[in-house]
Amino acid sequence: MTATMSAPTGAKTSLGLHEFGTPGVVPETMRAWVIRENRFGEPLQSFQEEEVPVPVPGDDEVLVRVVAAGVNYNGVWAGLGKPVSVLKGHGRDYHVAGSDCSGIVWSCGKNVTAWKPGDEVVLHCNWEDPAHGKRTKDKGDFLSYDPMASPRCQIWGYETPDGSFAQFCKVQAQQVLPKPKTMTWELASCYALTYFTAYRMLINRGGIQPGEVALIWGGAGGLGSFAIQICKEMGVKAIAVVSSNDKGEKCKELGAVGYINRKEFPNLAYKEGETPDQAKKRADDYKGVGKKIWDILGERRSPDLVFEHSGAETFPASVFLCSRFGRVVICGATTGYNLTFDVRYLWMMQKRIIGSHFANALDCLRANTLLESGRIKPFLSKVYPYDKIPQAHQDMFENKHIGNMTCLVMAAKEGLINSEDLRQS
């Protein structure tokens, strides 16, 4: 694949990392952090820099110059090659991770009139199957108008190969959203994946209602920090679970009514092959957490919704702690995806387990509008320079972070807001 077909005469073969260049004039190659199968492993090993061809947008696609790229778990999973090899999935011999981005539209496919070179944008990561709803490929494609009903919808930068840890990335035009005008590039790059996922989990899939109680695992993490803020906006009492009191206090600042430090419950995590004695200690810790929830709420009440993404170690607790008729909404499995739990608590109390996965374009638009109003704020804890992109992922892998993190790509420094700032810096 080369970019020569979209590069007008006079285009340079490559652009300096911080060189602004001219929107519309596309170079042939770019710098990128590249994952290949022969170096699958922890991020410091799997992410290596290479010079690769600039992707060529299709008719309904857009090429975006990356100004800053948010860090999320997709890059960690892609580099580990676990639980699946993303390279086998998309079939190209290298993968550029990155499912979050703030940037500038650099060129557009011939059908794209919504955007033009120079537009300042953020990207959402739901790649839609263009055939969805047309029933040309698959009878099941008309199960719902929601493009996520298509078995071929994909997560950009994870299941597709041209993500944002590079000078340029390629997306469908429907993935493009206007960048909040007064936000810095780094802030605008860090929220889409986690915020839109949390929004769909709570609002669309979880059907959260004012007056309800939600238990938020990883309350100070990427997903959790947004879940708490959405709950507050919705009039829902959010209780965070965290691994330190510092993180817990941060959750209260974000709007949680209280927090549980999971380190005070050392037997909380489910471990495969546990002895009867360990199982009993775990059950005792569940009761201890339940009691703590009552203390925080000031009444004997269980969470109507449990916000799950930590998976194997926490899932049985989530099912236990959830209220009668409550919902456990799950979108991930950081600690393992084979879940073991006591199903009696599920059926006897008629609880529901609900799967949720990123968000569709409508969820993203609605959530972005709420964010632009200033009522929800990204919790950006750390900004890395371009050459520390592998380290940023390593820190996430080692759970050393809090909130969201991002990496500068075209931006030479923090605090810049628009194209003019980039030109002058």
Residues that bind ligand NDP (CB under 6 A): 72-73, 193-194, 197, 217-218, 220-224, 241-243, 247, 262, 269, 309-310, 313-314, 331-332, 334-335, 357-358, 396, 399
- Tokens 């994909």, residue located: 154
Show Cβ contacts of residue 189 under 8 Å, excluding neighbours closer than 6 positions.
67, 68, 69, 70, 100, 101, 102, 103, 122, 164, 406
Nearer to ligand NDP, 29 or 194 (CB): 194
CB-facing half-sphere around the CA of 173: CA atoms within 13 A = 16
Show Cβ contacts of residue 382 under 8 Å, excluding neighbours closer than 6 positions.
392, 395, 401, 405, 406
CB 50 within 8 A of CB 66: no
Angle, vertex CA 393, rays to CA 164 and CA 305, nearest 5: 90
- Please tell me the distance from the alpha carbon of residue 127 to that of residue 413, in angstroms, as a whole number: 30
Backbone φ, ψ for residue 262 (5° rounding)? -65, -15
Q: How far is the CB of 318 from ligand NDP (least distance, A)?
A: 10
Q: How far is the CB of 22 from ligand NDP (least distance, A)?
A: 35
* Residue whose CB is nearest to ligand NDP in the complex, by number: 221
Q: How far is the CB of 44 from ligand NDP (least distance, A)?
A: 17
Any idea what DSSP says for residue 418?
Answer: S
Q: Going by DSSP bridges, is the β-strand pair 327-330/305-308 parallel, antiparallel, or unpaired?
A: parallel
Q: How far is the CB of 6 from ligand NDP (least distance, A)?
A: 31
Q: How far is the CB of 181 from ligand NDP (least distance, A)?
A: 26
- Please tell me the distance from the alpha carbon of residue 151 to that of residue 147, in angstroms, as a whole number: 9
CB 202 within 8 A of CB 224: no
Nearer to ligand NDP, 106 or 191 (CB): 191
Angle between helix 192-199 and helix 222-234 axes, rounded to 10 deg: 40
Q: How far is the CB of 359 from ligand NDP (least distance, A)?
A: 8
Nearer to ligand NDP, 233 or 395 (CB): 395
- Please tell me the distance from the alpha carbon of residue 271 to that of residue 412, in angstroms, as a whole number: 45
Q: How far is the CB of 148 from ligand NDP (least distance, A)?
A: 10
Nearer to ligand NDP, 93 or 398 (CB): 398
Nearer to ligand NDP, 141 or 308 (CB): 308
Nearer to ligand NDP, 108 or 187 (CB): 187
Nearer to ligand NDP, 106 or 127 (CB): 127
Nearer to ligand NDP, 62 or 76 (CB): 76
Nearer to ligand NDP, 215 or 416 (CB): 215
Give the E-state strand segments of 243-296 in sequence order. Answer: 258-261
Q: How far is the CB of 249 from ligand NDP (least distance, A)?
A: 12
Q: How far is the CB of 106 from ligand NDP (least distance, A)?
A: 27
Nearer to ligand NDP, 167 or 197 (CB): 197
- Please tell me the distance from the alpha carbon of residue 356 to that of residue 46, in angstroms, as a whole number: 28
Nearer to ligand NDP, 168 or 379 (CB): 379
Q: How far is the CB of 397 from ligand NDP (least distance, A)?
A: 9
Exposure class string for 282-317: b at 16+ Cβ within 10 A, else e: beebbeebbebbeebbeeeebbbbbbbbbbbbbbbb
Q: How far is the CB of 404 from ligand NDP (least distance, A)?
A: 7
Q: How many helices (H) and strands (E) does the chain have?
A: 13, 17
- Please tell me the distance from the alpha carbon of residue 26 to that of residue 44, in angstroms, as a whole number: 30
CB atoms within 10 A of CB 113: 8
CB 61 within 8 A of CB 395: no
